[in-house]
Amino acid sequence: MFTRLKQNHRLLVLVVLGAILLFCLIIGAAFGAEAISPLDIVKMTLNKIGLSDFSLSPAWEQRNHETILFMIRLPRVVAGALVGAALAVAGVLFQGLLRNPMADPYIIGTSAGALFGATVARMLPVSLALFGFGLVPIAAFLGALAAVLVVYNLARVGGKTPVVSMLLAGFAVSAMLAAVTFFMVTLSGRTELIHIIYSFLMGSISVSGWDQIILIAPLIVGGIVLARFFAFRLNAFALGEEGAAYVGVNVEREKLLILGLGSLLTASAVSISGLVGFVGLVVPHAMRLVLGPDHRLLLPAAALSGGAFVVIADLFARTVRAPDEIQIGILTALIGAPFFIYLLRRTRREYAF
């Protein structure tokens, strides 16, 4: 059995996980069609933000590498880290709220809801912008929230959310939304949309430069910071909704806030990468096993390790069959689905009919 960490060791854990994430980011940026040495990456990045003035040689190679690093690789690994962190934290939020270790944003329909919302918005003839955000992310958020509310209410039996009914409701809603999304796109006859939707359904980190990241990063980072303030109330939800109310949680309000926050994080991740499944399942579970279920540590730990996990998965996705890319959703499903089945077997007493 793992012994629990002392209070002052929590910070140490987060520092270590942060260092691992940084390491993964550098490794992720180093490999690709053109390898760049990790040391050069550090030097170039420090130079770029004006902290140092290392000289790299030869000059032509440096310019070449700088372009690759700052225009292609770094946006890609940073996007991967953001996606992983957002999905892992959304998973922790849903799992803690529903007292259910299998509530992953992909499985409970949030991701499909976000995809549906985003697709509807893309197909609208008008392009609106609110506060600088396009309509697409807003519609993705609303779709995610609507889907999770539908699944939650379908799955609820007598004040509880049993594993089986949640999985079934999530599956049905996801399948329905994916079907309707495809149907709409097919009817529209816009082949470029069909291609986009296909790549979204299997998930791939598609960013071009920093524009999209600058828009989404504040949402994800802000969402994760905000999630941390829910740590105590998420712990209290382990007592069940009634038990949480006994220790002073305003259950209905907190539930909406937590589902909303989880939907925001999911929608943000989906708008970068499409449906990358099982990250929100595997990462929180592994962290809970090692660090315990206390959300004060679990939330930030899941964010950091989720980021590292997706950066590495994405590195494999784009190097294994280079120059072609495998879609990252395929990789995470290959790792995550067997793990999901293992979890299902292990908790079978809970989901017995």
Partner 1 sequence: MINLNQVSFSYNNTPVLHHIDLVVEKGEMVALLGPNGSGKTTLIKLISGVLKPSEGEIRLDGSRLSRLKRREVAQRVAVVPQQFNMPFAFTLREVVFLGRTPFLKTFSDEGKRDYQVVEQTIALIGIEQLKERFFNELSGGERQKAILAMALAQEPKLLLLDEPTAHLDINHQVEILSLVRSLNREQGLTVIGAMHDLNLAALYFNRVILLKQGSIVADGPPEKVLTEESIKEVFSASVQVTQHPVTKSPHIVITPW
- Cα separation of 261 and 246, whole Å? 24
Closest CB 231 distance from partner 1, rounded Å: 9
Q: Is 292 an interacting residue with respect to partner 1 (CB under 8 A)?
A: yes
Among residues 44 and 287, whose Cβ is nearest to partner 1? 287
Q: Which stretch binds partner 1 (CB under 8 A): 97-105, 132-140, 211-219, 320-328?
A: 97-105
Q: Which stretch binds partner 1 (CB under 8 A): 48-56, 145-153, 179-187, 238-246?
A: 238-246
Of the candidates 134, 139, 133, 141, the one whose C-alpha atom is nearest the C-alpha of residue 119 is 139
Q: String of b and e for 32-64 (b: at least 16 CB within 10 Å)?
A: beeebeeebbebbbebeeeeeeeebeeeeebee
Binding positions for partner 1, 4-23, rule CB under 8 A: 4
Distances (CA, A) of 44 to 47, 48, 70, 310: 5, 6, 9, 24
Q: Is 249 an interacting residue with respect to partner 1 (CB under 8 A)?
A: yes
Q: Is 247 an interacting residue with respect to partner 1 (CB under 8 A)?
A: yes
Q: Which stretch binds partner 1 (CB under 8 A): 70-78, 80-88, 193-201, 293-301?
A: 293-301
Q: Is 292 left (phi over 0), alpha (psi -120 to 50) or beta?
A: left
Distances (CA, A) of 315 to 142, 152, 163, 170, 347: 31, 35, 33, 30, 32
Task: Answer for the pair 10, 296: CB distance below 8 angstroms, yes or no.
Answer: yes
Question: Binding-site residue total for partner 1 (CB under 8 A)?
Answer: 28
Q: Is 293 an interacting residue with respect to partner 1 (CB under 8 A)?
A: yes
Among residues 98 and 333, whose Cβ is nearest to partner 1? 98
Binding positions for partner 1, 187-226, rule CB under 8 A: none
Among residues 91 and 101, whose Cβ is nearest to partner 1? 101
Binding site for partner 1 (CB under 8 A): 1, 3-4, 99-101, 229, 232-233, 235-236, 238-240, 242-243, 245-251, 288, 292-294, 296
